[in-house]
Structure 1
Amino acid sequence: MYHVLLDPIAEEQIAALPDGALHPLAELFALLEVAPWSGQPYNPANPKANMLTHTFGERGLATYIVLDEQREVYVIRIEWP
């Protein structure tokens, strides 16, 4: 199981999310704890890189880094346009 950590900027972005986005985001975090590689490569030209994106809810996008040796997922950005 992986531990999900939040960058301070991601924390600020989460605080600004609408209420309807919080449950889907929590579901995404639960998924990332067990399947962190389930997202899409941040850079399609480098599909084996450890920076990924994953959608959540109707419009959300999380960008994160998988740190296998530490068993951590470091969420760097949360977007909800």
Structure 2
Amino acid sequence: MYKLVIDPIAEEQIAALPEEALRPLAELFTLLETTPWSGEPYNRAKPRSNMLTHTFGERGLATYIVLDEQRESYLVRIEWP
């Protein structure tokens, strides 16, 4: 199990999300705590990098870093266009 750590900017972005995004976001949080490596590489030129993205809901995109030694998923940004 990984601990989910949320960057202050991501917290602000989460606070601005519409209600329709909250349930998929909660599901994403569970995923980041249990299987964080299930995302896509942030930089496709470096597929083994620990910075990943994961979609959620119909339009959401989360960017995060997996820190294996600390057993943490660090949520950097949330996008909901």
Equivalent runs, 1:2-81 vs 2, <5 Å: 2-81=2-81
Consecutive unaligned residues in structure 1, runs of 5 or more:
none
Helix, strand or coil at the partner of 1:63: strand
Helix, strand or coil at the partner of 2:65: strand
Instruction: Encode CA deviations 1:8-53: one digit per residue, 9 max, x unaligned.
Output: 0000000000001000000001011110000000000000000000
1:12 and 1:63 mapped to 2: Cα distance?
Answer: 14
TM-score normalized with structure 1 length = 0.99
1:31 and 1:76 mapped to 2: Cα distance?
Answer: 15
1:60 and 1:42 mapped to 2: Cα distance?
Answer: 15
Consecutive unaligned residues in structure 2, runs of 5 or more:
none
Alignment RMSD, CA only?
Answer: 0.3
Helix, strand or coil at the partner of 1:48: coil
Helix, strand or coil at the partner of 1:46: coil
How much identity, in percent, do the aligned residues show? 78
TM-score normalized with structure 2 length = 0.99
Runs of 4+ displaced beyond 3 Å: none
